[in-house]
Amino acid sequence: MLRNALLFVFAAAPLAHAAATDGLITAAERSGFQNTGRYDEVAALCARFQKAYPKAVRCFEYGRTPEGRPMLALAASRTGALTPAQARQRGLPVVLVQGGIHAGEIDGKDAGFLALRETLERKAAPGALDQQVLLFVPVFNVDGHERFGQWNRPNQRGPVAMGWRTTAQNYNLNRDYMKAESPEMQAMLALVNQWDPLAYVDLHVTDGAKFQPDVSIQVEPVHGGDAPLRQAGTALRDGVIADLKRQGSDPKPYYMSFAATDDPASGFVDEMASPRYSMGYFMLRNRMAMLVETHSWKDYPTRVRVTRNAVLSVLEQVAAHGKDWLRTAREADARGATLAGAEVPQSYRTTYNSKTIDFPGYAYTRTQSDVSGALMTRYDESRPQTWSVPLRDEIVPDLRVAAPRGGYLVPAAQADMVAAKLRLHGIAYRVLGAALENAPVQAFRAERATPGAQSFEGRQSLKVEGDWRDETRSVARGALFVPIAQPKARLLMALLEPGNVDSLLAWGLFNNAFERKEYMEAYVAEEVARGQMAADPALAAAFRAKLAADPTRPSPPVRRRGWNSSPAATPRGTSVTTCIRCCARSASSKRAVAAG
């Protein structure tokens, strides 16, 4: 298992000599891993790899960026399977290795090309490409990669200059897996739908404090998702961690960010990623995702070496176990199609149970800053020190929702928008050719709707509180029926259940339904309010009690007149005038998703 990795030395001249015959050496190698190349080098290397290994490598474009740059990938295998159809026909697992989703964190590009070349030369992971297809995306955020600068990552040691975190449209791609608004993510999801990778390896560089460990390896499903597939995810994670340890690294299975910012004594809190992130997303597709986070305070040669080792370890693990894991993933697809009526976790939380761990850090002091006035930590990297700190790593399901017994209904007014999202994620649906009259459904009535204070990723988020309730509704022709009985049922629920943190509703795609569109003149509202109180003494008493609760701070007249339609004052179980059914589903056969 790559036991020779400790002998791996980044010496530019020997590596250049070894690769000179085929021109596959990178600008990073030529510089001794002080610099990284621009995107024109990616295009050149992609073509050169295919030319050097025409039977084992295919270079292809899978999309275009908003600034018109080609999004390139390489398919590599010694099985002759260089297309999705060939991989499926041969029953081969596919591993998608992705670099540069945050283009300033560019270790994955240079490490991936190095790992690919050494594997093809059979100098590393010998035989691994005989058992699988490697799909390598050197740079996901291509436009961001070309926004080059020396200060794009000021707390990162090398390379000298690097790309930018977000796209040309200012999207953070590692927040876009669910809403899929960026052209780059839409292209990536199309690539994923075509190839259906068993494992998706997302290569990053972490931010954070100064300490000794050089990398974290996190995998899902481990904490959630399909139970048998969690065993495969755990085996993949543990296998890669064991390989890296043998190679001299100190990998951790949790994200190394302090529980309290800038305070090492607060320890660490492991978390379950929501599906806006790659690691949380692929679990819902019944596939594995690995997050590799090298430590930003390690120098670039070290980070590239560790990333290269991680990629090669994944290839070796999949070569050894991939056929079994692929069978488990397909069985998970079959189980996903049987979730109707089952309680399905929609979110997870970390409990407050903790254990004390010994963590390799550095000596530090915490003193008041004369610049900011805050308590700040200063590290002494010349003095290694073992910290005894708490680790909270018990993760349990939080929000649970019963899956519909039939599926979801999307009214015709919203059908085109929702259908486009479903297609991006590879979720099946059909368009109703005839109206449904008096259909038994469940409707989600939002009693409280709280918009985000400001936009995030170009969207104003929305949080709703409410319940599913049985109703009878008519659904017009042209509505969508989205069956729950399909492999991606978990992903479908995450997209359409209103309480999910990354649902289409939570991302603000239905916000128009929560905006007030009609109103009364003040004198009419006054008459209606008096009429309501005269007809309902309990309502009148509740209104007077509200006024009496804080007589020193009277509400504005418009708010007092509209009190009974305010989400804060509406009795539980009724609908709010600004939100009439944002989502609905059926007790016996279907659920409807209605915004309006």
pLDDT in tens, 473-518: 999 999 999 999 999 999 999 999 999 999 999 999 999 988 888 8
Q: How far is CA 19 from CA 15, 73, 244, 360, in A?
A: 6, 21, 25, 37
3-state secondary structure 295-330: ECCCCHHHHHHHHHHHHHHHHHHHHHHHHHHHHHHH
Q: Indicate the SS3 state at residue 414.
A: helix
User: How far, in whole angstroms, is CA 127 from its chain's centroid?
Assistant: 32
Q: Is the Cβ–Cβ distance between 408 and 505 less than 8 Å?
A: no
Rg (CA), the chain: 27
How many CB atoms are located within 10 Å of the residue 264 CB?
22
Strands 199-206 and 288-295 come out as parallel
DSSP for residue 397: E
DSSP for 120-157, written as a single string:
HTTSSSTTGGGS-EEEEES-SSHHHHTS-BTTSSTTS-
Percent of the chain residues topping a pLDDT of 70: 91
Crossing angle between the packed helical segments 300-336 and 227-246, to the nearest 10 degrees: 160
pLDDT in tens, 210-241: 999 999 999 999 999 999 999 999 999 999 99
- Nearest CA to 338 out of 202, 487, 218, 199 is that of 487
The Cα 365–Cα 371 span in angstroms is 16
The Cα 45–Cα 39 span in angstroms is 10
Sheet holding 70-76, edge to edge: 57-64, 70-76, 133-137, 94-98, 199-206, 288-295, 215-220, 251-252
The Cα 93–Cα 87 span in angstroms is 7
What pLDDT score does 22 carry? 58
Task: Tell which phi-psi region holds residue 170, choosing left (phi > 0), alpha (psi between -120 and 50) or beta.
Answer: left
pLDDT over 70 at 450, yes or no:
yes
What pLDDT score does 596 carry? 32
Listed in sequence order, the residues at least 6 apart from 303 whose beta carbon sits closer than 8 Å to its beta carbon are: 107, 158, 205, 214, 294, 295
CB burial string 88-113: b at 16+ within 10 A, e below: eeeebbbbbbbbbbbbbbbbbbbbbb
pLDDT in tens, 370-413: 999 999 999 999 999 999 999 999 999 999 999 999 999 999 99
Listed in sequence order, the residues at least 6 apart from 432 whose beta carbon sits closer than 8 Å to its beta carbon are: 475, 477, 478, 479, 480, 481
pLDDT over 80 at 10, yes or no:
no
Listed in sequence order, the residues at least 6 apart from 139 whose beta carbon sits closer than 8 Å to its beta carbon are: 39, 42, 72, 99, 100, 103, 106, 109, 145, 163
Structure tokens of 428?
């099946």
pLDDT confidence band for 594 (50 / 70 / 90): very low
pLDDT over 50 at 9, yes or no:
no
Residue 377 burial by CB count (10 A; 0-12/13-18/19+): exposed, middle or buried? middle
pLDDT over 60 at 12, yes or no:
no
3-state secondary structure 420-445: HHHHHHCCCCEECCCCEEEEEEEEEE
Cross-strand bridge partners of residue 470: 442
Listed in sequence order, the residues at least 6 apart from 545 whose beta carbon sits closer than 8 Å to its beta carbon are: none
Q: Quick one: average pLDDT of 415-433?
A: 97
Q: Quick one: average pLDDT of 230-254?
A: 98
The Cα 209–Cα 387 span in angstroms is 13
What pLDDT score does 457 carry? 96
Percent of the chain residues topping a pLDDT of 90: 82
- Nearest CA to 28 out of 20, 17, 36 is that of 36
pLDDT over 50 at 296, yes or no:
yes
Q: Quick one: average pLDDT of 100-122?
A: 98
Residue 7 burial by CB count (10 A; 0-12/13-18/19+): exposed, middle or buried? exposed
What pLDDT score does 310 carry? 98
Map tokens 């994923």 to a residue. 192
pLDDT over 60 at 21, yes or no:
no
- Nearest CA to 408 out of 449, 434, 447, 443 is that of 443
The Cα 313–Cα 315 span in angstroms is 5
What pLDDT score does 378 carry? 96
The pLDDT mean for the chain works out to 90
Q: Which amino acid is at 450?
A: T
H helix runs in 398-511, sequence order = 412-425, 489-496
H helix runs in 82-132, sequence order = 84-90, 107-120
Q: Quick one: average pLDDT of 315-335?
A: 98
Q: Quick one: average pLDDT of 423-451?
A: 93
Structure tokens of 549?
């609760």
pLDDT in tens, 341-374: 999 999 999 999 999 999 999 999 999 999 999 9
More confident of the two residues 574 and 464: 464
What pLDDT score does 227 carry? 96
Q: Which amino acid is at 359?
A: F
Name the phi and psi angles at 422, rounded to 5.
-60, -40
3-state secondary structure 232-273: HHHHHHHHHHHHHHHCCCCEECCCCCECCCCCHHHCEECCCC
More confident of the two residues 557 and 472: 472
Structure tokens of 541?
């008493």
Q: Quick one: average pLDDT of 160-166?
A: 98
The Cα 411–Cα 595 span in angstroms is 8
